[in-house]
Structure 1
Amino acid sequence: MLECNVVVLKNCFRLCVIYRPPPSRTNKLKNSTFFEEWSEFLDRLVVTPEELVITGDLNFHLDNKNNCDTRKFQETLRDHGLVQHVRGPTHNHGHTLDVVITRENSLILKTVPSVQDPSLCDRKGNPSGDHLALFSALEISKPPRERKEVTYRKLRNISTDDIIHDLVNSEIFQNQERPLEDLVNLYSTELSSILDKHAPLISKNLILRPNTEWYTDDLRVAKRNRRKAERRMRKTKLTIHRQMFRESCITTNQLLIKCKKDYFSSKISEIGHDQKQLHRLTNDLMGNKREIFLPEHEDDKLLADKFCEFFVGKISIIRDSLSTTNTSSSDSNPMRADIKFEEISGTTQKDLIIKTNSDYELVSRAISGRSFGYFIGSFIGGPLVDKLGNYCDLMIAISLDGAAIATIIAPYSSNVGMLGVLLVIGGTFEGVINIAGQKLILNLWKRKATGPLHILHFGFGMGSFIVPQIANPFLAVLAPSLDITNASSINGTKSPFVIDPVTVTATTTNNTIAVIFLKESKIESAYLIVSIIVASLSVVFFLYQFCNRTTVYTHVHVPGEIKESNFRKAVKLVDPATCADGNRCFGVQIFLLIFLYFFNAVGGERMYSKFIRSYAIDKHKFSGDDGSLINTTFWICFAIGRLTGLLTGRFIPVRILIVIEASGVLVTAILLEIFARENDLALWVLTCPMGFFLSQLFPTGIGWGDFHVEFTGIAITFALMGGALGGVSYLWVLGYLYEYQGYDMFLHQLVFYGGCMMFFTIIMTIVGIKHGGRFERDTERHTDENAVELDELDEDITCINDEA
Structure 2
Amino acid sequence: MLVVHGFHGVCAASFETAAIADIALVWKQKAGPYLQAMQFAFSVGAIISPLVAEPFLAKTITFPANFEPIVSNISTLVPQYLKHTVKFTDKLAVQEEITGNISVTDIGESLIYIPYSVTALLCLLSASFFVATFSFYGSVYENLNDVSACEITSHRNRYFISKRMKYTFTMLLASALLLYVVSQNSFTGFLMSFLVSERKWSKAMGSVASSVFWITFGIGRLSGIVIIKFISMSSMILIFSSTCLSGAVIFLLAVIFDQVILEWMSIGVIGFGMSVLFGLPFLWLSKNVCTLTGKMASIFFIFHCVGTMGVPILVRYLIDKVSQMWFIYSNIFLSFSMFATFVIAIVSFNFMKRVHNRSEKANIMLKVEGGN
TM-score with structure 1 length normalisation?
A: 0.35
CA distance in 1, matches of 2:253, 2:87: 58
Amino acid at match of 1:704: W
Going from structure 1 to structure 2, the CA distance change for 1:483 and 1:439 (only over 3 Å counts) comes to: farther
Name the CA shift for 1:464/1:635 in 2 (closer, same or farther; >3 Å): closer
Query: CA–CA distance in 1 between the matches of 2:324 and 2:60?
Result: 37
- Cα displacement (A) at 1:650: 2.1
Counterpart in the other structure of 1:433: 15
Q: Is 1:706–2:295 an aligned residue pair?
A: no
For residue 230 of structure 2, what is the aligned residue in structure 1?
651
Decide whether aligned partners of structure 1 residues 483 and 623 sit closer, same or farther in structure 2, where only a CA change above 3 A counts: farther
SS in 2 for 1:759: helix
Aligned to 2:80: none
| Contact 2:254 2:260 (C-alpha < 8 Å) held by counterparts | no
671, 677, 686: which is aligned to 2:266? Answer: 686
| 2:175–2:303 CA contact under 8 A, matched in 1 | yes
Distance in 2, matches of 1:702 and 1:717, equals: 11
Matches within 5 A, 1:524-563: 524-549=113-138, 553=142
User: Aligned partners of 2:204, 2:331: CA distance in 1, in Å?
Assistant: 24
2:187 corresponding residue in structure 1? 608
Deviation per residue, 1:72-103 (Å, 9 max, x gap)? xxxxxxxxxxxxxxxxxxxxxxxxxxxxxxxx
1:720 alignment counterpart = 301
Mark the CA change 1:617 to 1:528 in structure 2 (over 3 Å): closer, same or farther. Answer: closer
Matched, 1:590 2:169: yes
Out of 242, 249, 257, the residue aligned to residue 663 of structure 1 is: 242
Question: What are structure 1's unaligned runs of at least 5 residues?
Answer: 1-418, 485-498, 507-516, 557-578, 785-804
For 1:632 and 1:717, how far apart are their aligned partners in 2?
Answer: 31
| Among candidates 44, 47, 64, match of residue 462 of structure 1 | 44
How far off is 1:688 after superposition? Answer: 0.7
- In structure 2, the partner of 1:318 is none
Residue 739, structure 1, aligned to residue 328, structure 2: no
**Residue 767 of structure 1 corresponds to which residue in structure 2?**
348
Pairwise CA distance, 1:540? 2.4
User: What displacement does 1:444 show?
Assistant: 2.1
CA displacement at 1:683 relative to structure 2: 1.0
Query: For residues 311-351 of structure 1, what are the alpha-carbon distances to aligned partners after superposition, in whole Å with 9 as ceiling and x for unaligned?
Result: xxxxxxxxxxxxxxxxxxxxxxxxxxxxxxxxxxxxxxxxx
Query: How far apart in 2 are the matches of 1:719 and 1:483?
Result: 53
Partner of 2:34: 452
User: How many angstroms apart in 1 are the aligned matches of 2:110 and 2:310?
Assistant: 38
Report the CA distance between 1:426 and its aligned residue.
2.3
Query: How is 1:329-368 mapped onto 2 (pairs within 5 angstroms)?
Result: none
Superposition deviation, residue 541 in structure 1: 2.1
Tell me by how many angstroms 1:460 deviates.
1.9
756 and 462 in structure 1: CA distance in 2 versus 1, 3 angstrom threshold: same
C-alpha offsets along residues 295-322 of structure 1, whole Å, 9 cap, x if unaligned?
xxxxxxxxxxxxxxxxxxxxxxxxxxxx
Q: Secondary structure in 1 aligned to 2:228?
A: helix
Superposed CA offset, 1:159-178 (max 9, x none) = xxxxxxxxxxxxxxxxxxxx
Equivalent pair of 2:17/2:301 in contact (CA under 8 Å): no
Matched, 1:695 2:284: no
Native 8 Å contact 1:603 1:728 kept in 2: no
Provide closer, same or farther for how the CA distance between residues 483 and 771 of structure 1 changes in structure 2, counting only shifts above 3 A: farther
Query: Residues of 2 paired with 1:525 and 1:581: CA distance?
Result: 53
Deviations 1:47-82 (A, max 9, x none): xxxxxxxxxxxxxxxxxxxxxxxxxxxxxxxxxxxx
AA of the residue aligned to 2:41: G
Aligned CA distance change for structure 1 residues 541 and 772 (closer, same or farther; 3 Å) = farther
In structure 2, the partner of 1:316 is none
- Tell me the secondary structure at the aligned position of residue 746 of structure 1: helix
CA shift in 2, pair 1:682/1:581, >3 Å: same
Which structure ranks higher in relative contact order (CA pairs < 8 Å, sequence separation ≥ 6)? Answer: 2
State the match for 1:752 in structure 2.
333
Instruction: Name the SS for the 1:449 alignment partner.
Output: helix
- Matches of residues 214-253 of structure 1 in structure 2 within 5 Å? none
Distance 2:319 2:50 in 1: 32
Q: Secondary structure at the match of 1:451?
A: helix
In the TM superposition, residue 690 of structure 1 has moved relative to its aligned partner by 0.8
Residue 522 of structure 1, CA deviation: 5.0
Q: In the superposition, relative to structure 1, how do residues 440 and 520 fare at CA in structure 2: closer, same or farther (>3 Å)? A: same
| Distance (Å, rounded) in 2 between the aligned partners of 1:505 and 1:751 | 43
Letter in 1 for 2:122: I
| Letter of the 1:697 counterpart | L
1:693: how far off? 0.5
Give, in whole Å, the separation in 2 of the partners of 1:501 and 1:738.
39
Output the CA distance in 2 between the equivalents of 1:693 and 1:607: 15
Deviation at 1:692, TM superposition (A): 0.4
Taking a change above 3 Å as real, the CA distance of residues 525 and 674 of structure 1, as seen in their structure-2 partners, is closer
Deviations 1:417-460 (A, max 9, x none): xx332332222221211111111211122123232222212212
| 1:552 Cα offset (Å) | 8.1
1:768–1:533 Cα change, 3 Å: same
2:177–2:300 CA contact under 8 A, matched in 1: yes
Question: What's 1:627 paired with?
Answer: 206
Counterpart for residue 639 of structure 1: 218
Higher helix share: 2
Secondary structure of residue in 1 paired with 2:334: helix
User: Cα deviations across residues 244-275 of structure 1 (Å, max 9, x unaligned)?
Assistant: xxxxxxxxxxxxxxxxxxxxxxxxxxxxxxxx
Structure-2 separation of matches of 1:622 and 1:518 = 26
The one-letter code matched in structure 1 to 2:37 is I
Query: For 2:248 and 2:129, how far apart are their aligned partners in 1?
Result: 43
On the 8 A contact 1:616/1:627 being kept in 2, the answer is: yes
Cα deviation 1:742-766 (Å, max 9, x = unaligned) = 2333333333223212211111112
Q: How high is the TM-score relative to the length of structure 2? A: 0.72
CA distance in structure 2 between the partners assigned to 1:441 and 1:472 by the alignment = 33
Given that 1:620 and 1:680 are in contact with CA atoms closer than 8 Å, whether structure 2 keeps it comes out as no
How far, CA to CA, are the matches of 2:254 and 2:58 in structure 1? Answer: 45
CA contact (8 A) 1:474 1:523 kept: yes
Distance change in 2, residues 1:502/1:644 (3 Å): same
Deviations 1:694-713 (A, max 9, x none): 12211112211222221221
Identity of aligned residues (%): 21
Indicate conservation of the 8 Å contact 1:476/1:520, yes or no.
yes
After superposition, residues 59-458 of structure 1 pair within 5 angstroms as: 419-458=1-40
CA distance in 1, matches of 2:261, 2:36: 30
**Which runs of 5 or more structure 2 residues have no equivalent in the other structure?**
63-68, 73-85, 94-105, 146-157, 365-372
Change (3 A) 1:521 1:441: same
Q: Distance in 2 between matches of 1:626 and 1:553?
A: 53
- 1:474 is displaced (CA, Å) by 4.5
Q: Name the CA distance, whole Å, in 2 between partners of 1:432 and 1:483.
A: 48
* Matched positions, count: 312
Following the alignment from structure 2 to structure 1, what is the Cα–Cα distance between the partners of residues 58 and 329? Answer: 43
In structure 2, the residue corresponding to 1:697 is in which secondary structure?
Answer: coil
What residue identity is the alignment partner of 1:449?
Answer: A
Written as runs of structure 1 = structure 2, the 5 A alignment for 1:17-36 is none
Letter in 1 for 2:219: I
